[in-house]
Chain A
Amino acid sequence: MSSWTPISGGTTRVDRSRSTDDDETDLAVSASAAAVTRSWSVGLVAAPFAILALASVLLLYYNSLPLDPEVNISQASALDWSTKLWPQTVEHLTIAFWATVLVVAIAVPLGVVLTRPALRKISPYVLTVANSGQALPAYGLLILFLILLGQGLNAVVWALVLYALLPVLRNTMVGLDGVDRSTIEAGRGMGMTRWQALTRIELPLSVPVIIAGVRTATIINIGMAALAFVIGGGGLGITINSGLALQQDSVLLVGAGMVAIIALAFDWMGAVAERFLRPRGLQ
């Protein structure tokens, strides 16, 4: 996935003190900028058509299935639209939505705080924690939150927050680190306060990299929400699991297909957002 470029590219960079090597930082930014531009040029126009085509194929397949309880009761019950698939889709999106909102609300401010000179020293430790969130097996993480928060939406959302925190946190830090020091120097030299320099220069210039991280987090959350059923969080994972448990390939296929289409659709929306939220003058 091209949007991973700035994330993996940033691992070594965030540990460095900020002023060591300007050229390298510039490289990081231009590399991530290139990645963003590339995904726009290749996928942005063609992708929605491909996704629609995929959805149509799935719909045709779904309509071709005998959903008569008389014929196959387990299949008919598992794939019922109004009692199963639709509510599960809503649950699935709700989980992914709240997890992503919380990730952004936590990771962006955290990234800002950790790139301030005073707190720079502790940033490696926080990154280690965020790293471990992603390194833990997803299943184990869900069980951990089940134990901590009990069954339901809450536990699922917080587990996903920890899981998807890293890309946004790291991209926020890489993005802020990649801002040309001389623009900040000039801004401060003209009398901008720290806050003004942050909000008027640093954050706007980091937007492309931060959004790339948010896009990645969104996709992770949609994918991971398929595991929410494990601790009673609902979502389309129920259908997938039913397909597995009942050995009904059609049920499995419809459930997995829907998750995939939702993920692709949101990835495309993320790409559009990257394209249009990018400040003018930065192409």
Chain B
Amino acid sequence: MLEQPMIHLERVTKVYPGSSVPAVEELTMDVAEGEILVLVGPSGCGKSTTLRLINRMIEPSGGHIYFDGEDVTDVNPDHLRRRIGYVIQQIGLFPHQTIGENIATVPKMLGWAKKETAERVDELLDTVGLPPGEFRDRYPKELSGGQAQRVGVARALGADPAVMLMDEPFGAIDPITRDRLQNEFLRLQGELKKTIVFVTHDIDEAIKMGDRIAILGERSVIRQIDTPERILAYPVDEFVDDFIGSGSTLKGLNFERVTDLELTPYPTMRVGESAEVGLRTLNEMRREWILLLDGEGRPMRWLRHSDLERGDGELSTRGQHISNQVEPNATLHDTLEEMLRTSSGTCTVVDNRGHYRGVVEINDLTEVIRRLRAEAKQHYDELDVAAS
């Protein structure tokens, strides 16, 4: 690692009394400042245990934990935890305290002044999108699941910790609300830039939330740790491959955008140009289809060779209308979706004013997939070389 990692685990081990098999075995891991590292793995692999080792809710049996270079393996665990945000699936709001009192928990323990604490509470409620005037004095039982989870996040942010630990924070929420909360959280993280360790058993959530993903096997052994793109493109072994499940290639297309592609030149002609001009272009480029653009440069119709030859009516009424188009910032996943929806091997690309920018062909997508795989493989080959 070039920079000092925010969290550094060094050969951290947890063996429960009376058990001969460690729950976590010599785990060494870095979390860079400002990144979301997702720990994902099958149930019982020890991912939650690993998370709870970091804030020492569970005391490690061996190894060292460093925060920003400082060895915190032996500091007072209660004081340590006040520096770390902690969000759990059940949220665990205190039902006998108001939302405001819940959020003020850590600032109060740290002895903040009353006024400062009150301001911080309102600021945090604003941050998570709950109007302070409306929510500050309510009790947890009056909240919906989504609202309660936001309060849980606000409470964890109480004293502005640099590090947040989140144990399946969106696990118990309905899929629609979960999706919204995930998006909101990612937007929030864009501003806050916390260092986050996030546990989930859901690979899709991991792919969505993670800057990096650590796929854990038995005893919390890291099977692969990398960016979601690279894990999807190149699962290092069968375990990872099985865990990602089918559709990893498709999921990988979510990370590539149309702008990343070099669009192949495609024959086009303008309204008003004669059919002969079009035919000449087609012959020159050895293509079968040509794209007819209007006066502003917006795609109008697809014309086939035969449509140009058969001189029957205006060109703009011949051929097929354009049924699909995407903007340059669309993901390749969406682009493929458009192609499949319209059962066509191509998709036109237009800018936000509808002007023609190019055409994506299905071959371009397979090419991208091949390139991603090759790049990821090369990366791992280089790692192997460096290691040996």
Contacts and interface: CB of A to CB of B under 8 A. Distances in A.
Interface of A: 180, 182-193, 196, 200-201, 204-205, 279-283
Contacts, number: 78
Contacts of A192: 78, 105, 109
Contacts of B94: 183, 186-187, 200-201, 205
Given A182-B88, A186-B86, A281-B139, A191 B79 contact: yes
B91 interface: yes
Interface in B146-175: 152, 155-156, 158, 165
Given A186-B93, A190-B105, A282-B96, 9 more contacts: A185-B57, A186-B152, A186-B155, A189-B88, A190-B158, A191-B78, A191-B79, A281-B98, A281-B139
A204 B156 CA distance: 22
Of residues A183, A184, A279, which shows the largest number of chain B Cβ atoms within 10 Å of its Cβ? A183
A184 B140 CA distance: 15
Contacts of A200: 94
B95 interface: yes
A206 to B, nearest CB: 10
A190 B155 contact: yes
A52 B141 CA distance: 38
B90 interface: yes
19 contacts: A180-B90, A180-B92, A180-B95, A185-B88, A185-B92, A186-B92, A186-B93, A186-B94, A188-B57, A189-B81, A189-B86, A189-B165, A190-B109, A191-B109, A192-B105, A205-B95, A279-B96, A281-B140, A281-B141
Nearest to A201: B94
Contacts of A204: 96
A200 B109 CA distance: 12
Nearest to B55: A189
B92 A187 contact: yes
A107 to B, nearest CB: 22
B118 interface: no
B347 to A, nearest CB: 48
A251 B156 CA distance: 67
The 4 A-B pairs with the shortest beta carbon distances in the complex, nearest first, are A186-B92, A281-B139, A191-B82, A182-B90
Contacts of A196: 109
A227 to B, nearest CB: 39
B91 A186 contact: yes
Contacts of A180: 90, 92, 95
Nearest to B80: A191
Nearest to A278: B96
A192 B57 CA distance: 11
Contacts of A201: 94
